[in-house]
């Protein structure tokens, strides 16, 4: 058993190290000297904006103010600072996104007073030195783009893991924030709001630490500590959210007939529209934490399994022996259900005793993530256990009540089949299960199982209905 435990610990350590290293690649690219100025980074959405099909005619758009509407300040270890959590240059970011899309002609409106003053100076100079020349009129906008950053939600998901063994260990922590953007297009002729787009982007922060404490010589303690913390820049998150809003505004505008793509780009735009509708359907099934329905939970689940049992009682040696059984789960709701379980196996202490036992159990079962392929399991209940002969149905001697509880994990590979592994604690209300009554505590045993899960029937999907696409207005 010690060898098995040692192997398990080693496997866990290796898995933890792999997980840690996968999230700390920047550790090997630490800055050791000042770096030169560089061009601004691009987001993945910047590339998709540039690859949009060409417009038939560019749209003249004005942006007066696209501001931070959250009013939120940065959180620090000592409270809240005076720096804002969201960049105040969101108007500039939106103008850059409009330019990158190549669908808009942007005109200056944020500081239009400066422009008008400069035109007065130019007009005065022209009138004095060049008679008969006039400045051309300013462009007027077909649409005005309004909106802003409406929320910055900090710590929507936090977590981490750690491991320390004989003075050596490490830990990882992560935190996820969320920024939300609304963008709307307003017609300058009628004041009608043509389209409103809502996008969001998460901001990830990670910390990885490793420590080592070891006596290398008498009274000589070696201590080593290293770590790395990375935070996704908030400005890039806001930029990507705004660029995604511009992309959605263009695509939905084409879908609704507000503007059109070039004739030579009709096929490419159709593919873009199809991909966008698939993305909207996917987002309709995804919650705020990025989780979406992967499988529909079943009404019934049949779980045949094999496993091992380990005895704990009046004999000091705790021997692992094989077992097998089957359970039937009836789910009252996607998360809660009732389980009937029958199991048989060998309960033994090496060199002391060995007997077959059979148990019949009833449990309440809880699945926290019923719509995911991977879901943990929790169950608790009561039943009866007795010694048995060569057949599991051949009960011998007295039957004893027992209580049991356990946990496990289940993976649904398809709608019909899956896999489940469990570990349960079984406590009979007797001390005579091993044929010996001694001490003050009753005998008990642990059971670990692995087996298939056959799904029967389905609960209705919890997916929200998707609104049908609006038909494009017919042109006269």
Whether pLDDT at 5 is above 90: no
pLDDT value at position 378? 95
pLDDT value at position 475? 39
Considering only residues 31 and 21, tell me which one the structure prediction assigns the higher pLDDT: 31
The predicted model gives 272-285 an average pLDDT of 87
Considering only residues 139 and 306, tell me which one the structure prediction assigns the higher pLDDT: 306
Quickly tell me which residue has 């809240």 as its tokens: 80
pLDDT tens digits along 120-137: 888 888 766 766 667 788
Quickly tell me which residue has 């993976």 as its tokens: 411
pLDDT value at position 168? 86
Which range has the worst mean pLDDT, 30-34, 223-227, 262-266, 324-328?
A: 30-34
Tell me, yes or no, if the pTM score tops 0.75: no
pLDDT value at position 181? 94
For 348-393, the DSSP string reads EETTTEEEEEEEEEEEEEE-S-TTSSEEEEEEEEEEEEEEE-SSTT
Whether pLDDT at 460 is above 50: yes
pLDDT value at position 316? 79
| Spatial contact of 232 and 203, defined as CB atoms under 8 Å apart | yes
pLDDT tens digits along 68-115: 888 877 776 666 666 788 888 899 999 999 999 999 999 988 888 888
pLDDT value at position 164? 85
The predicted model gives 431-449 an average pLDDT of 83
Whether pLDDT at 335 is above 70: yes
The predicted model gives 439-452 an average pLDDT of 88
pLDDT tens digits along 220-249: 888 888 888 888 888 899 999 999 999 999
Q: Quick one: tokens of 156?
A: 């929507």
Give the separation between CA 448 and CA 412, rounded to whole angstroms: 19
pLDDT tens digits along 32-52: 778 888 888 888 899 999 999
Give the separation between CA 233 and CA 39, rounded to whole angstroms: 15
User: Residue 417's Cα: distance from chain center in Å?
Assistant: 25
Give the separation between CA 287 and CA 293, rounded to whole angstroms: 9
Q: Which domains does the chain have, with CATH numbers?
A: 43-248 (3.40.50.10610), 300-456 (2.40.160.20)
Pairing label, strands 374-388, 395-412: antiparallel
Give the separation between CA 8 and CA 19, rounded to whole angstroms: 16
């Amino acid at each position: 058993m010690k060898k098995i435990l040692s192997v398990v610990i080693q496997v866990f350590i290796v898995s933890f190290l792999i997980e840690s290293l996968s999230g700390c690649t920047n550790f090997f690219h630490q800055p050791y000297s000042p770096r030169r100025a560089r061009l601004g980074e691009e987001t993945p959405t910047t590339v998709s904006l540039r690859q949009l099909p060409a417009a038939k005619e560019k749209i003249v758009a004005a942006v007066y103010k696209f501001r931070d509407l959250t009013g939120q300040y940065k959180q620090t270890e000592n409270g809240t600072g005076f720096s804002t959590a969201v960049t105040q240059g969101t108007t500039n970011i939106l103008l850059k996104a409009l330019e990158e899309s190549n669908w808009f002609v942007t005109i200056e409106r944020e500081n239009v007073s400066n422009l008008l003053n400069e035109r007065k100076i130019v007009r005065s100079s022209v009138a004095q030195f060049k008679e008969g020349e006039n400045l051309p009129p300013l462009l007027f906008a077909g649409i005005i783009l309004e909106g802003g950053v409406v929320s910055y939600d900090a710590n929507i998901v936090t977590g981490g893991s750690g491991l320390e063994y004989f003075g050596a260990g490490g830990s990882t922590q992560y935190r996820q924030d969320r920024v939300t953007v609304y963008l709307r297009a307003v017609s300058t002729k009628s004041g009608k709001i043509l389209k409103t787009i809502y996008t969001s982007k998460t901001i990830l922060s990670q910390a990885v630490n490793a420590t080592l404490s070891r006596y290398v010589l008498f009274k000589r303690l070696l201590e080593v500590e290293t770590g790395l913390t990375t935070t996704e820049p908030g400005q890039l998150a806001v930029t990507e959210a705004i660029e995604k809003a511009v992309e959605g505004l263009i695509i939905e505008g084409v879908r609704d007939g507000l503007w059109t793509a070039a004739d030579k780009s009709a096929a490419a735009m159709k593919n873009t529209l199809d991909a966008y509708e698939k993305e909207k359907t996917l987002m309709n099934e995804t919650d705020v934490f990025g989780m979406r329905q992967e499988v529909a939970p079943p009404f019934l689940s049949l779980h045949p399994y094999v496993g091992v049992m380990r005895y704990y009682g009046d004999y000091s040696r705790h021997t692992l022996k094989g077992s097998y059984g089957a359970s039937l789960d009836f789910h009252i709701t996607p998360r809660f259900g009732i389980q009937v379980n029958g199991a048989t196996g060998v309960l033994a202490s090496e060199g002391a005793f060995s007997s077959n036992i059979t148990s019949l159990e009833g449990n309440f079962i809880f699945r926290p993530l019923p719509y995911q392929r991977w879901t943990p399991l929790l169950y608790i209940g009561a039943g009866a256990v007795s010694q048995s002969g060569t057949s599991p149905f051949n009960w011998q001697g007295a039957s004893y009540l027992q209580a049991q509880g356990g946990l496990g994990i289940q993976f649904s590979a398809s709608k019909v089949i899956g896999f489940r592994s469990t570990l349960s604690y079984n406590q009979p209300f007797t001390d005579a299960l091993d044929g010996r009554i001694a001490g003050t505590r009753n005998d008990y045993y642990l059971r670990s199982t692995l087996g298939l899960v056959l799904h029967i029937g389905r609960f209705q999907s919890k997916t929200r209905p998707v609104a049908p696409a609006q038909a494009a207005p017919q042109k006269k």
